[in-house]
Amino acid sequence: MLSADLYRRIQANAVRGTERHWAIIPPLVAKRLRPQVVHVADALLTMLPKSDALRLNRVIALGHRGEASEAAIDEIVARYRAARVKRFSVLVGPGPQSKAIGRWLEARDFARTPGYSLLVRDAAEPVPRVETTLRVRRYGPALVDRALDILGEAFGMAPSRREWAKAAGVSRDYEHYMAFAGTTGVAVAALRMHGGLAWLGGAATRTRWRGRGAQSALIAARLRSARRAGCAWAWSETSEPLRGRPDGSRRNLTRLGFEQACVEPIYVWEA
């Protein structure tokens, strides 16, 4: 399913989406957090010096166009050092240089850690019906604060980043969906579409409402939207399946027709 061309398109889609997501950081938040977004070779680097979160201090798409090199990796390390970032991660996908990139990173004392499963689905295929008593609808700015509360309950959210999350919640780059039990919002998820590809992410469910079909219903709603928009492929990333780690997100996606295309390992550098 994952051809070399489709993988390159997904990586380019991820780069564009990440750039736009970081571009909407409110000015006052940016002044306080000092975010940086940098291109090195064909990779995108994101830096948030005041955070130690690996998802924020991360390199994506390295080598997806065959432009990785040892010199590029040395420049990447130098960039993070100059930004005074104490640790960062490199997400390595199955591009043409993946094996060489792994060797180069390990030679520089990067530690390989569990990564992400990349899941892909033909977006033109019919969407199965999901049985649930919950109701799903797309929401707008009026419900953003409620959505942020759900995300905060599920994952935690630093107060310093809430305004950034709120800016994303009203951005036209995304479609936002919420699952309701009556009038109570219990789960949320996001959809981003560009260039015939649909990315599914930003999913969270309140703890006491898990196991009620909320995320399956949200996946189905987003797939229907992507199909109506004429997207060719839908993609998402979840944590690599490991023994003892919850795997609900991956199960929900595969139940709705996604297939695992590959596992993308993460390499971590620490000062």
User: Looking at this protein, which amino acid is placed at residue 94?
Assistant: P
Is 146 among the domain residues? Answer: yes
Please indicate, yes or no, whether residues 146 and 200 belong to a single structural domain of this protein.
yes
Count of Cβ atoms closer than 10 Å to residue 65 Cβ: 16
According to the model, what pLDDT value does residue 200 have?
Answer: 98
According to the model, what pLDDT value does residue 246 have?
Answer: 65
* Rounded CA separation 70/63 (Å): 11
Yes or no: say if 38 and 47 are a contact pair by the CB < 8 Å rule: yes
CATH value at residue 162:
3.40.630.30
According to the model, what pLDDT value does residue 241 have?
Answer: 76
248-269 mean pLDDT: 93
Give the 3-state secondary structure of residue 255.
Answer: helix
Number of structural domains (the chain) is 2
Please indicate, yes or no, whether residues 40 and 11 belong to a single structural domain of this protein.
yes
Please indicate, yes or no, whether residues 144 and 200 belong to a single structural domain of this protein.
yes
Is 218 among the domain residues? Answer: yes
According to the model, what pLDDT value does residue 163 have?
Answer: 93
The per-residue pLDDT for range 128-180, each reduced to its tens digit, is 999 999 999 999 999 999 999 999 988 888 787 899 999 999 999 999 999 99
Is 18 among the domain residues? Answer: yes
Please indicate, yes or no, whether residues 9 and 106 belong to a single structural domain of this protein.
yes
According to the model, what pLDDT value does residue 142 have?
Answer: 95
Please indicate, yes or no, whether residues 105 and 170 belong to a single structural domain of this protein.
no
The per-residue pLDDT for range 200-221, each reduced to its tens digit, is 999 999 999 999 999 999 999 9
Yes or no: say if 230 and 106 are a contact pair by the CB < 8 Å rule: no
Containing structural domain, residue 217: 135-231
Average confidence score pLDDT of the chain: 94
Please indicate, yes or no, whether residues 62 and 105 belong to a single structural domain of this protein.
yes
